Amino acid sequence: MIVIPAVDIKQGRCVRLLQGRMEDETRYADDPLKMAQRWEKEGAKLIHVIDLDGAFAKEVKNLESVKNILAGINVPIQLGGGIRDAQTISMYIEMGVSKVIIGSEALYNPALVKDACKQFPGKIVVGIDARDGMVAVEGWSKTSKTTVLELAKEFEACGVAAINFTDIHRDGMQTGPNIEETALLAEAVSIPIVASGGVSSIEDIKNLLKIEGKGVTGVITGKALYEGSLDLREAIKLTLQ
């Protein structure tokens, strides 16, 4: 299992949100690149970058920040937010993005995901964000009538590299990840699952490691790193034992 630090970008700055609410932000750095460089220095092997403005606007909004991160670090990034068409996917991969995360369009247009998997094998990640077990979309501003499991199974055989599974109620709250639901999802599909939302301490990493064997291959963490309640080096060391 790998530990993946999050760099969320809003209006060109590195922020964290509470439960995805744009008005509930904490700003951590004026330059997202500096945060990415910090996590690289501390041992990150993959960095999770989200264009928050893009997620709400349904189009790319922080392209310059993404370019700066790509040029300024040597580890791969996975990128999401505002990715709604094949052209945007191609643009990001041609720029050097290692994995492109498709969120809302995975629900609205599953054919986009399947076609992208064929065109870019191993580079497409599906982001499934859950509110009370139902898929939430458009920057988490809308909740669908589709369950997490229904959407995940849609992509079972198309070559998706991973599913990033986020429990919205826990995101940014540091209340611990939803171990039970993450384990159930991992058991139900053969696609690797990356847990997200709620990580608060090294104990949460230990708890996630207990379900690694079910197919949980990574964990995304943001606020715990920024607030200092989780040490990235310690977390990475633990996963290597």
Model pLDDT for residues 37-81, shown as the tens digit of each residue: 999 999 999 999 999 999 888 899 999 999 999 999 999 999 999
pLDDT bracket for residue 176 (50, 70, 90): confident
| Residue 87 near residue 64 (C-beta atoms within 8 A) | no
Q: Where in the sequence numbering do the catalytic residues fall? A: 8, 129
pLDDT for residue 18: 66
pLDDT bracket for residue 28 (50, 70, 90): confident
pLDDT bracket for residue 141 (50, 70, 90): confident
Task: Report whether pLDDT(173) > 70.
Answer: no
Q: How far is CA 68 from CA 23, 36, 65, 107, 209, in A?
A: 26, 10, 5, 30, 33
Model pLDDT for residues 194-209, shown as the tens digit of each residue: 999 889 999 999 999 9
pLDDT for residue 25: 67
Rounded CA-CA distance 202/230 in Å is 6
Report the top-level CATH class of 2-239. Answer: alpha beta
Task: Report whether pLDDT(19) > 60.
Answer: no
* Total residue count of the chain as it appears in this document: 241
Rounded CA-CA distance 173/143 in Å is 20
Domain ranges (residues) in the chain = 2-239
H helix intervals, 96-231? 104-108, 110-119, 148-154, 179-188, 202-209, 223-227
Dig out the tokens for 129 from the structure. Answer: 């964000």
Compare 131 and 153 and report the one with higher pLDDT: 153
Rounded CA-CA distance 159/236 in Å is 27
pLDDT for residue 94: 98
DSSP letter string over 37-48?
A: HHHHHTT-S-EE
With a pLDDT cut of 70, the percent of the chain lying above it is 93
Task: Report whether pLDDT(185) > 70.
Answer: yes
Rg from Cα positions in the chain: 16
Task: Report whether pLDDT(120) > 60.
Answer: yes
Task: Report whether pLDDT(217) > 80.
Answer: yes
Rounded CA-CA distance 32/28 in Å is 9
Q: What is the mean pLDDT of residues 129-157?
A: 91
Q: How far is CA 233 from CA 21, 173, 239, in A?
A: 29, 22, 10
Compare 233 and 142 and report the one with higher pLDDT: 233
